[in-house]
With several copies, the nearest count.
Chain A
Amino acid sequence: MSLPERKTDIGPPHYEQFLPPVIKNNYGKWKYHEVLSPGTMVHVAESGDEIYTVRVGSPRLLSTSSIREICDLAEKYCDGYLRFTTRNNIEFLVSDKSKVDPLVAELKEKKYSVGGIGPRVSNIIHTQGWVHCHSACTDASGIVKAIMDELYEYFTEKTLPNKVRIAVACCVNMCGAVHCSDIAVVAVHRKVPVVDDENVAKMCEIPTTVASCPTSAIRPNPKTKSITINEEKCMYCGNCFTVCPPIQIHNPEEDGVAIVVGGKIGSLRTSPKFSKLAIPFFYNDPPRWPKVVDAIKNILNVYAANARKHERVGEWVERVGWEEFFKLTGIEFTFQHIDDFTFMRDTLRTSAAFKF
């Protein structure tokens, strides 16, 4: 069983070999598109050629078996051409219009989630969680599954004022797009890390560890050759733990997740926006985090009922004001909502005009 010869620095396969002929022929010459249903759209080229897209939800964490099943369908309906979206959905690229409906029919029969196109909830961008990451302060896949089950009809059917981008990050490293999402979940710690002096002394470079703290909460402790953390200053960001593992930040009793809202990425109408804190904390509540799911559904419903057509969550909130957001959603406003970090100056209200 000799191995083939390895190559290096070849980079990824060139995309061209994976493009359906109709795309190759009309590359850069598309004229318009039309959304035909929540899971299908057609792009029409200047030449009149068409490419149909059938979009299907994916858990992102895919087994090779499932990938092969998807490949089977692609071969049956679209000459094997498929792609994934930047939000991890699967897209079948159908050149033959007559095969669209049969594909959709078989997908639905096989319980695939056809949808996600247009002004609705698309797939949730998420991260590794307990599945693979040492830094995880919650699981990501589980929360995502619970949310998408609940919001399912917003993926497959219902429309909203505009796209609603949801994300989940399993720690504040935020490997997903939580910091600029319409609605997102981010796992947070709430207790000062516990320092294992012996191992810190053995395994960590003290100056690097001290420097890793954004709030200067860490001081060297010459006695123990380890470090001490000033409880008053620690914001539980976990950066010290990333740099020096024996500084243990995980605390299963008091870890959990926060909900942030109102971010966006596109520059349409209003500038890209960071997400802002809506709910500072829910305890981790596996397997289905029901309170988190309820809270998200509530925010989504209030948005759907109040926003104008084409308004993103953040645009709606900025139009009506955050006072109004808290009133309409019934969410409690706490000390945690008031920034005391880098954006404090920007976010405190400097106007005598506001709503009660």
Chain B
Amino acid sequence: MSGKYKTPLLDELEKGPWPSFVTEIKKAAQSSSMPQMADDELGQLEKSYSTRLGYWKHGGIVGVLGYGGGVIGRYSSLPDEFPGIAHFHTVRLNQPSGFFYTAEALRMVCDIWDKYGSGLTNLHGSTGDLVLLGTTTENLEPLFAEYSSRGWDLGGSGSAMRTPSCCVGMARCEWANIDAMDICNTMTQHFQDELHRPAFPYKFKIKVSGCACDCVAAIARADLSIIGTWKDNIQIDQAEVKKYADAGMDIQAEIVDMCPTSCMSYDNGEIKINDAQCARCMHCISKMTKALKPGKEKGATILVGSKAPIVVGSLLSWVIVPFIECKPPYDELKDLTEKIIEWWDDNAKPRERIGELIEAKGMRPFLEAIGVPPQPQQVKEPRKDPFFFWAESDFKK
């Protein structure tokens, strides 16, 4: 801690039990070979805290040779006052699927970063990357050489495929209907070119969750959301049901009455499920994990289009394919994803996400382009107004 700046406001945020990011900024200066970066970051941040204004310029385009993304250029608007952060770019390292690490691997990441950057990181960025926070333009190439030679690559940024992300899935979860980590890794590898060389109309994100709990928020934060599900019957272990009851669970109130389709009943200590009516929402399974399990015919639901509110309001992803098998090498999934991206790439204006494009064009041209038939699962309810389009092909019937 160099103590270059007085930071009375930020120091307030070192109080209290939750770990303090202010302490982290102060600590970064200890180990980084460029302590002035974290120092000046702290100084500028203190200034922001007193003026209530940020001091960052719009990012310029910086990066590594042959790639168009992976680095977010960032410059202080007060380079004279805070020269240490005149350049303060972030580097997005593509995280391993499921965010698993060994201490050894993480140490190596830290060592390189202390050499070429501020010593500050985000574990992880909202998209999933291991974010390295603050370096200079000239350090980008050596940094990339060091990381890539050791098996690490950059993640996405700009109008490109973004770093796919997933839940912990089969690695540690009994409900995973698909191998979320393998799918995430496979898709990441499959789309390396699209990830590193922005050539899309805008960003395109993929997220994979093993079940409807959606622990990676795929349905809300991915252009392509892959969510595991099953087709057959929930597996019930009645002996375990009894144990839950014995342990004091109010099965009627907590499970049966909360089932959204009312397809369960609880009589004489046994749970019965009318599986044809089950929506596979995961409520009962998640609250009675020892007694109930997803079925055996597993696959994924494919949804498309979610994004943040800019420009036309937030979108959640829409069901496109209710059920698709997901087994390595995932050809069907890759193929579908390629078709989806192709249609979007062919039709979108710059800065138009796929959800916005579908809204603008309607579902039909999209579904026709990717070869998916209309199905009731794609809608909450059918259209309300009597205005609907007919194509020539409809008349031939």
Contacts and interface: CB of A to CB of B under 8 A. Distances in A.
A and B: direct contact (Cβ < 8 Å)? yes
B153 A12 contact: yes
A176 interface: yes
Among A70, A180, A350, residue most surrounded by chain B Cβ atoms (within 10 Å): A350
Given A6-B144, A287-B9, A252 B102 contact: no
B374 interface: yes
Interface stretch (A97-105, A222-230, A267-275): A267-275
A75 B133 contact: no
B98 A347 contact: no
Given A8-B66, A90-B123, A310-B254, 17 more contacts: A6-B148, A8-B148, A11-B185, A12-B152, A14-B185, A32-B174, A43-B174, A64-B28, A86-B215, A112-B19, A149-B18, A180-B220, A250-B53, A253-B52, A335-B391, A336-B390, A351-B319
Among B66, B121, B141, residue most surrounded by chain A Cβ atoms (within 10 Å): B121
A170 B160 CA distance: 23
B377 A80 contact: no
A250 B216 CA distance: 32
Given A8-B66, A57-B19, A180-B316, A19 B384 contact: no
Contact of A30 (B58, B174, B317): B174
Contact of A310 (B260, B283, B363): B283
Contact of A23 (B109, B172, B216, B309): B172
A33 B174 contact: yes
B92 to A, nearest CB: 11
Interface stretch (B286-294, B329-337, B340-348): B286-294
Q: Which 7 A-B pairs have the closest CB atoms?
A: A149-B16, A340-B362, A80-B103, A4-B149, A71-B103, A350-B316, A339-B383
Interface in B94-149: 94-107, 109-111, 113-114, 119-124, 126, 133-134, 141-142, 144-146, 148-149
B74 A134 contact: yes
A8 B67 contact: yes
Interface in B269-295: 276-283, 286-287, 289-290
Nearest to B151: A13
B319 A288 contact: no
B99 A338 contact: no
A66 B180 CA distance: 29
Contacts of B5: none
A159 interface: no
B208 to A, nearest CB: 11
A355 B122 contact: no
A174 B102 CA distance: 31
Contacts of A139: 45, 48-49
Given A149-B16, A188-B386, A235-B389, A14 B96 contact: yes
Contacts of A262: 381
Interface in A296-338: 309-310, 318-327, 333-338
Contacts of A82: 100-103, 106
Interface residues of B, number: 173
Contact of B383 (A64, A93, A337, A352): A337
A65 B374 contact: no
Contacts of B319: 348-352, 354
A85 interface: yes
Among B98, B146, B262, B389, residue most surrounded by chain A Cβ atoms (within 10 Å): B389
Contacts of A4: 145-146, 149-150
B308 interface: yes
B214 interface: yes
B185 A12 contact: yes
B31 interface: yes
Contacts of A200: none
B56 interface: yes
A9 interface: yes
Nearest to B76: A134
A117 interface: no
A341 B282 contact: no
A59 B90 contact: no
Interface in A7-39: 7-15, 17-19, 23, 27-28, 30-33
Contact of A67 (B123, B259, B281): B123
B9 A286 contact: yes
B13 A146 contact: yes
Given A132-B90, A214-B311, A287-B12, A63 B281 contact: no
Contacts of B312: 214, 342
A219 interface: no
A292 interface: no
Contact of B97 (A15, A129, A320): A15
Contacts of B114: 64
A145 B18 contact: yes
B21 A272 contact: no
A152 B181 CA distance: 31
Among A23, A32, A287, A324, residue most surrounded by chain B Cβ atoms (within 10 Å): A287
A347 B379 contact: yes
Contacts of B231: 356
B309 A174 contact: yes
A152 B214 contact: no
B149 A176 contact: no
B173 interface: yes
A338 B383 contact: yes
A172 interface: yes
B52 A3 contact: no
Contacts of B144: 6
A121 B385 CA distance: 24
Given A145-B16, A335-B374, A286 B133 contact: no
A77 B78 CA distance: 45
Contacts of A31: 174, 290
A64 B58 contact: no
Contacts of B322: 354, 356
A196 interface: no
Contacts of A191: 390
Contact of A62 (B52, B123, B279): B123
A337 B382 contact: yes
B314 interface: yes
Contact of A173 (B44, B308, B378): B308
Interface string B355-384: 000010011100100000011111111111
